[in-house]
């Protein structure tokens, strides 16, 4: 049993110690906003925050996550009112949308540390894959959120 604090709510999770956090979040706790894309920390679809840092939850175990503050897309803002979510709407970012929770969580961690990121900062921090190729609008939306326009 592991005690996982997800979006401020404590969950007792019966899982083997090596289970990736992703599957505890999706299959046990039942929050499906965090996506599975590759399972090997390549694509970033599963990005969550662990104590405020972006983490690829497919490659962090339940045991490593216990005792940390876990935030998923559902916990970023209940109504979608986070500046990035507003910017995503304003800039019409998603296409299929599957990678977007991970993109937004990666961007949110970036803005938390660098409220006004440069293009180079965005390139360095945003390594998540988008197969629809929404990258240009993702970049634009991060600037929009950072500038408080949306």
Closest distance of CB 31 from other proteins, Å: 8
Neighbour-count burial of 51, counting CB atoms closer than 10 A to its CB (0-12 exposed, 13-18 middle, 19+ buried): exposed
Closest distance of CB 6 from other proteins, Å: 13
Please give the Cα distance from 63 to 133 (Å, whole number): 35
Using the rule CB under 8 A, give the single segment among 4-12, 63-71, 108-116, 132-140 that binds other proteins: 132-140
Binding of other proteins by 88 (CB under 8 A): yes
Neighbours of 78 (CB within 10 A): 9
Q: Closest Cα to residue 28, out of 57, 55, 54, 52?
A: 57
Which residues ranging from 48 to 67 are in contact with other proteins (CB under 8 A)?
none
Rule CB under 8 A: choose which of 98, 121, 143, 150 binds other proteins.
98
Closest distance of CB 29 from other proteins, Å: 11
Rule CB under 8 A: choose which of 47, 71, 100, 144 binds other proteins.
100
Q: Which two tokens stand for residue 129?
A: 């894959």
Q: Walk across the sheet containing 2-6 and list its strands.
A: 9-13, 2-6, 69-71, 47-50, 53-56
Residues that bind other proteins (CB under 8 A): 15-16, 19-20, 23, 26-28, 30-40, 42-43, 45, 72-74, 76-77, 80, 84-85, 88-89, 92-101, 104, 122-123, 126-139
């Amino acid at each position: 049993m592991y005690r996982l604090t997800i979006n401020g709510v404590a969950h007792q999770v019966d899982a083997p110690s090596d289970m990736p956090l992703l599957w505890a979040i999706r299959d046990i706790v039942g929050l499906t906003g965090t996506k599975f894309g590759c399972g090997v920390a390549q694509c970033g679809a599963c990005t969550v925050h662990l104590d405020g840092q972006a983490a690829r939850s497919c490659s962090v175990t339940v045991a490593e996550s216990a005792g940390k503050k876990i935030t998923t897309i559902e916990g970023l803002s209940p109504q979608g009112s986070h500046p990035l979510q507003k910017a995503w709407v304003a800039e019409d970012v998603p296409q299929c949308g599957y990678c977007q929770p991970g993109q937004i969580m990666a961007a949110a961690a970036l803005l938390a540390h660098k409220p006004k990121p440069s293009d180079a900062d965005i390139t360095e921090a945003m390594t998540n894959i988008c197969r629809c190729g929404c990258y240009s609008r993702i970049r634009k939306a991060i600037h929009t959120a950072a500038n408080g326009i949306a």
